């Protein structure tokens, strides 16, 4: 009995050692060459209808939210709330999108010429949700908030609701080439939703290309960035102009600004176009290898020209 027990005790570490060894298939797997992850994300209903937009159209505010069932105590309204609308042309059963014109009070530019480019592109609007008219009084219409992106408030504008195209998402796409610009039509990211400057997967942004440039919902745009000093964001320009550390100065090679211009555009990520106006497009980042920044260049894929 003692001999059997001793043999079992000797077998346990041998078995455990065998368990720790990787299989032949695992040993054959190539080592990862980078820790960058190419993540992709499909747009949801909220992504499509809550992304906001930039347009040259000046949306009138004659039709707007007046108050809510809980007024004057309640001044913010969301899904299933009853609200009152002021304006003309309301019909029971009709639906309206609720939008709000917004403006960034921070006038510091994220890239040279950003403010002028934004002004040429139009006004920025937030999508707040959708309401349906349920009753008409002599002076106001009663409505129910059917869908809410964020709280609505008195004064928010109403426009007739229009169904948006649920864009086709392509999860199985060709491998993203880091240094392979499409060389087609190009524009720039002019702003991020809610004025975000640094953007990642799933976040929304606006570019200065739209239907007039042949952009359609469902198109993919490639985000690229170069090293040209005149195109660098302010933070990167600080590094460009900073002197080398004292202990590095002896052996360090100081690059000239002309040297940086020689470096290639590098791919940052991809954007799926959610909606377009004649001059602009709203997009969602589906894949990013690093932070996407306002001011980055966007290029149309070659097969979408």
Token pair of 304, please?
């979408």
At residue 257, does pLDDT exceed 90?
Answer: no
Residue 12 lies in a domain: no
pLDDT in tens, 107-135: 888 887 888 999 999 999 999 999 999 99
Residue 266 lies in a domain: yes
Average pLDDT score over residue span 217-236: 84
Residue 35 lies in a domain: no
* Residue with more model confidence, 166 or 39: 166
Residue 40 lies in a domain: no
- Distance CA(186)–CA(136), nearest Å, equals 48
- Distance CA(224)–CA(240), nearest Å, equals 19
User: Is the distance from CB of 76 to CB of 156 less than 8 angstroms?
Assistant: no
What is the pLDDT at residue 249?
55
Query: Which region among 146-155, 249-258, 279-288 has the lowest average model confidence (pLDDT)?
Result: 249-258
* Residue with more model confidence, 22 or 167: 167
Residue 64 belongs to what domain range?
Answer: 45-245+252-304
Residue 137 lies in a domain: yes
Residue 21 lies in a domain: no
Residue 32 lies in a domain: no
Residues 6+ apart with CB under 8 A from 199: 192, 205, 285, 288, 291, 292, 293, 294
Q: How many domains in the chain?
A: 1
Residue 2 lies in a domain: no
What is the pLDDT at residue 28?
44
At residue 298, does pLDDT exceed 90?
Answer: yes
Average pLDDT score over residue span 53-70: 95
């Amino acid at each position: 009995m003692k001999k059997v027990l001793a043999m079992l005790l000797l077998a346990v570490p041998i078995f455990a050692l065998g368990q720790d060894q990787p299989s032949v298939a695992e040993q054959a797997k190539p080592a990862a060459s980078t820790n960058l992850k190419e993540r992709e994300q499909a747009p949801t209903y909220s992504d499509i209808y809550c992304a906001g937009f930039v347009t040259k159209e000046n949306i009138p505010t004659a039709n707007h939210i007046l108050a809510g069932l809980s007024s004057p105590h309640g001044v913010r309204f969301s899904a299933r709330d009853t609200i009152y609308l002021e304006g003309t042309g309301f019909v029971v059963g009709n639906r309206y999108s609720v939008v709000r014109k917004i403006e960034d009070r921070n006038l510091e530019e994220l890239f040279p010429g950003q403010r002028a480019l934004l002004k040429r592109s139009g006004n920025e609007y937030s999508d707040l949700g959708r309401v349906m008219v349920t009753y008409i009084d002599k002076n106001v219409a009663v409505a129910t908030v059917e869908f809410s992106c964020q709280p609505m408030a008195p004064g928010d504008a109403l426009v007739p609701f229009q169904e948006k195209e649920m864009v086709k998402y392509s999860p199985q796409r060709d491998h993203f080439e880091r240094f392979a610009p499409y060389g087609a039509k190009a524009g720039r990211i002019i702003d991020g939703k809610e004025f975000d400057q640094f953007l990642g997967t799933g976040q929304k942004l606006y570019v200065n290309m739209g239907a007039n440039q042949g952009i359609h919902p469902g198109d993919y745009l490639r985000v690229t960035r170069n090293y040209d000093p005149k195109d660098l964001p302010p933070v990167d320009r600080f590094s460009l102009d900073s002197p080398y550390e004292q202990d590095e100065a002896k052996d360090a090679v100081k690059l000239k600004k002309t040297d940086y211009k020689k470096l290639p555009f590098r791919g940052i990520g991809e954007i799926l176009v959610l909606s377009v106006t004649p001059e602009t497009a709203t997009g969602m980042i589906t894949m990013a290898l690093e932070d996407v920044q306002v001011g980055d260049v966007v290029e149309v894929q070659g097969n979408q020209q």
